[in-house]
């Protein structure tokens, strides 16, 4: 079974530029997450999709971050304009919910490392 | 809001030493609990998970964790670590009926050969 695919793996941009990250979840996984992991910290949720609908985007800085999952499969996360503090690894994860309590675990991609200069 | 704390930022052990990494969470309801590991240069991988039943759960590579509900804890253990266990370990909590996973800050484990 193929894992969660992410690209690009690395990206270096200057502040105020824009960047986009792409994620392809595991086939059949309806739930998709974007996490931000700053060096030395645990992953922090940015946005969660169920199929192509947003479940939780309460921690997404909407003035500069946007995300979409138009057909309920692939997703893109965009940052525009980038700030120095956006330097982090952006992780995509997917989940196959099992039963009404959603007991499935998260499967992560390798992440996209962003450096903002 | 849920939160997860991990007791140690960096743990250094010699091979064959025993390991215990602490994890505490704050949430009053039913939770699902997870330990994830991130080996150098690799993606986050599931070590083990607890949903219900026996509070002592066994995972891959000889790891186990014990859920103590009264202490809101889910500590990770391994009786004898190997150099290949060098990695970052993250505890995560998924609250009842919720879909968000809240992660702890991580514990970096260095095992000296």
- Residue pLDDT, tens place only, B60-113: 999 999 999 999 999 999 999 999 999 999 999 988 656 788 999 999 999 998
DSSP-derived secondary structure for A10-23? EEEE-TT--EEEEE
Does a cis peptide bond (omega within 30 degrees of 0) precede residue A8? Answer: yes
Closest residue in A to B91 (Cα) is A42
Q: How many Cβ pairs closer than 8 A exist between chain A and B?
A: 62
Q: Do B46 and A105 touch (CB under 8 A)?
A: yes
DSSP-derived secondary structure for chain A? ----EEE-SEEEE-TT--EEEEEE--TT--EEEEEEE-TTS--EEEEEEETTEEEE-TTS-TTTEEEE-TTSS-EEEEESS--GGG-EEEEEEEE---TTTT-PPEEE---EEEEE-
- Residue pLDDT, tens place only, A17-50: 999 999 999 988 889 999 999 988 999 999 999 9
Q: Do B99 and A48 touch (CB under 8 A)?
A: yes
pLDDT of residue A71: 86
The pair of structure tokens assigned to B55 is 């509070």
pLDDT of residue A52: 86
Residues of A within 8 A of B99 (CB-CB) are 31, 48, 50, 55-56, 95, 97, 102
Distance CA A66, CA A60 (A): 8
- Residue pLDDT, tens place only, B8-30: 999 999 999 999 999 999 987 88
Whether residue A9 is predicted with pLDDT greater than 60 in this model: the reply is: yes
Residues 15-74 (B) with a CB less than 8 A from some CB of A: 32, 34, 36, 42-46, 49, 51
A95/chain B closest Cα distance in angstroms: 9
Q: Which one has a higher pLDDT value, B13 or A101?
A: B13
Q: Do B101 and A108 touch (CB under 8 A)?
A: no
């Amino acid at each position: 079974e193929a894992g969660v695919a992410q690209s690009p793996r690395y990206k270096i941009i200057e502040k105020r530029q824009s960047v986009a990250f792409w994620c392809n979840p595991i086939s059949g996984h309806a739930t998709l997450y974007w996490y931000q992991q700053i060096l030395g910290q645990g992953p922090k949720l940015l946005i969660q999709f169920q199929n192509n609908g947003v479940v939780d985007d309460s921690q997404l800085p909407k003035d500069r971050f946007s995300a979409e999952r138009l057909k309920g499969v692939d997703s893109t996360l965009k940052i525009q304009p980038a700030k120095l503090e956006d330097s982090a690894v952006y992780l995509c994860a997917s989940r196959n919910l099992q039963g009404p309590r959603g007991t499935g675990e998260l499967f992560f991609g390798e992440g996209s490392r962003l450096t903002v200069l | 809001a849920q939160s997860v704390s991990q007791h140690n930022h960096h743990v250094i052990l010699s091979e064959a030493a025993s390991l215990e990494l602490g994890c505490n969470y704050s949430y009053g309801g039913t939770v699902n609990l997870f330990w994830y590991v991130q080996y150098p240069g690799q993606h986050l991988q599931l070590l083990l998970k607890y949903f219900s039943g026996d509070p002592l759960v066994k995972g891959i590579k000889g790891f186990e964790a014990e859920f103590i509900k009264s202490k809101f804890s889910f500590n990770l253990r391994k009786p004898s670590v190997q150099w290949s266990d060098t990695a970052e370990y993250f505890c995560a909590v998924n609250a009842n009926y919720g879909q968000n996973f809240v992660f702890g800050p991580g514990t970096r484990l260095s095992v000296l050969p």
